Chains A and B, each alone.
Chain A
Amino acid sequence: MRHDLPAIVLFGAAALTPLVIRDGFLLDGLVLILLWGAVSGAWNVAGGYAGQVSLGHSAFFGLGAYSAALLATRFHRSPWLGLLVGALLATVAGLIIGYLSNRLKGPYFGLATIAFSQVLLIVASRWRGFTSGSEGIPVPFRPGFWTLGFSSKVPWVYLILALAVGIYLVARYLETSRPGYQLAGVREDEDAAEALGIPCRRLKVAAIAASAALTSVCGGLWAQYVGFVDPFYVFSVDLSIRFALNSIIGGIGTAVGPFVGSLLITSLETYLRATFSDFKAGLIGIYLIIYGCLLIVVVRFVPQGLVGWLGERLRAVGRYARA
Chain B
Amino acid sequence: MGAVPQLVISTVLLGGIYALIAVGLTLIFGIMRVVNFAHGEFLMLGMYLAFWAFALWGLDPYVILVVAVPIFFGIGLLTYALVMRGVVKASHNVQIFTTVGLSTALQNAALVAFTGDFRFVRPWHSGVVIRLGEAAFNLSQVVAFAVAVLFTAALVAFMKWTRAGRIMRATAQDVEAATLMGIDTDRVYRLAWAIGLVCVGIAGVLMSPLYSVYPTAGLQFVLLAYVVVVLGGLGDMIGALLGSLIVAAVEVIGSYLFGSAWKEVIYFVLFIAVLVFRPAGLFGQRGAETLGA
* A→B interface (CB under 8 Å): 53, 55, 100-101, 103-108, 110-112, 114-116, 118-119, 122-123, 126, 237-238, 241, 244, 248, 252, 281-282, 284-286, 288-289, 291-296, 299-300, 303
Q: Which A residues lie within 8 Å of B83 (CB)?
A: 296
List 27 contacting pairs A-B, 8 Å CB cutoff, sorted by A. A103-B291, A103-B292, A104-B279, A105-B292, A106-B92, A106-B93, A111-B35, A112-B275, A115-B268, A118-B264, A122-B262, A123-B265, A241-B104, A244-B97, A248-B93, A281-B116, A282-B112, A284-B111, A285-B109, A286-B112, A288-B108, A292-B102, A295-B98, A295-B100, A296-B97, A296-B98, A303-B94
Closest to A103 in B: B292
Instruction: Tell me which of A104, A118, A238 contacts B268 (CB under 8 A).
Output: A118
Interface residues of B in 236-293 (CB under 8 A from A): 261-262, 264-265, 268-269, 271-272, 275-276, 279, 290-293
Interface residues of B in 103-153 (CB under 8 A from A): 103-109, 111-112, 115-116
In the assembled complex, the Cα of A295 lies from the Cα of B292 at a distance in Å of: 26
Q: Which B residues lie within 8 Å of A103 (CB)?
A: 279, 291-293
Main secondary structure of the interface of B (DSSP, over half): helix
Contact residue range for chain B?
Answer: 35 or more
Pairwise interchain contact A119-B96, C-beta atoms closer than 8 A = no
Pairwise interchain contact A105-B105, C-beta atoms closer than 8 A = no
In the assembled complex, the Cα of A113 lies from the Cα of B244 at a distance in Å of: 22
Asked whether A106 and B219 contact (CB < 8 A) given A292-B101, A299-B101, the answer is: no
In the assembled complex, the Cα of A114 lies from the Cα of B267 at a distance in Å of: 13
Closest to B215 in A: A285
Q: Which A residues lie within 8 Å of B10 (CB)?
A: none
Q: Which A residues lie within 8 Å of B98 (CB)?
A: 295-296, 299-300
Q: Which A residues lie within 8 Å of B290 (CB)?
A: 105
Q: Which B residues lie within 8 Å of A294 (CB)?
A: 101
In the assembled complex, the Cα of A300 lies from the Cα of B93 at a distance in Å of: 9
Least Cβ–Cβ distance between B45 and chain A, in angstroms:
14
Instruction: Tell me which of A101, A285, A299 contacts B108 (CB under 8 A).
Output: A285
Pairwise interchain contact A104-B111, C-beta atoms closer than 8 A = no
Main secondary structure of the interface of A (DSSP, over half): helix
Pairwise interchain contact B115-A281, C-beta atoms closer than 8 A = yes
Instruction: Tell me which of A101, A238, A281, A293 contacts B101 (CB under 8 A).
Output: A293
Asked whether A108 and B105 contact (CB < 8 A) given A126-B262, A281-B115, A299-B98, the answer is: no
Instruction: Tell me which of A110, A126, A237, A289 contacts B261 (CB under 8 A).
Output: A126
* B→A interface (CB under 8 Å): 34-35, 37, 83, 86, 90-98, 100-109, 111-112, 115-116, 219, 223, 226, 261-262, 264-265, 268-269, 271-272, 275-276, 279, 290-293
In the assembled complex, the Cα of A100 lies from the Cα of B275 at a distance in Å of: 9
Q: Which A residues lie within 8 Å of B269 (CB)?
A: 119
In the assembled complex, the Cα of A90 lies from the Cα of B271 at a distance in Å of: 21
Pairwise interchain contact A105-B291, C-beta atoms closer than 8 A = yes
Q: Which B residues lie within 8 Å of A123 (CB)?
A: 265
Least Cβ–Cβ distance between A233 and chain B, in angstroms:
13
Asked whether A108 and B291 contact (CB < 8 A) given A288-B104, A299-B101, the answer is: yes
Pairwise interchain contact A118-B223, C-beta atoms closer than 8 A = yes
Pairwise interchain contact B291-A104, C-beta atoms closer than 8 A = yes
For the complex of A and B, the 10 pairs showing the least CB-CB separation, nearest first, are A292-B105, A295-B101, A106-B92, A292-B104, A285-B112, A107-B35, A296-B101, A288-B108, A105-B292, A285-B111
Closest to A283 in B: B112
Pairwise interchain contact B104-A107, C-beta atoms closer than 8 A = no
In the assembled complex, the Cα of A286 lies from the Cα of B108 at a distance in Å of: 7
In the assembled complex, the Cα of A296 lies from the Cα of B83 at a distance in Å of: 8
19 further A-B contacts with Cβ under 8 Å, apart from A110-B35, A300-B94, are A104-B275, A104-B279, A107-B92, A110-B37, A112-B271, A116-B268, A123-B265, A237-B219, A252-B93, A285-B112, A288-B104, A289-B105, A289-B109, A292-B102, A292-B104, A292-B108, A296-B98, A296-B102, A299-B94
Asked whether A295 and B271 contact (CB < 8 A) given A100-B276, A285-B109, A285-B111, the answer is: no
Q: Which A residues lie within 8 Å of B223 (CB)?
A: 111, 114-115, 118
Asked whether A106 and B96 contact (CB < 8 A) given A112-B272, A115-B223, the answer is: yes
In the assembled complex, the Cα of A282 lies from the Cα of B96 at a distance in Å of: 27
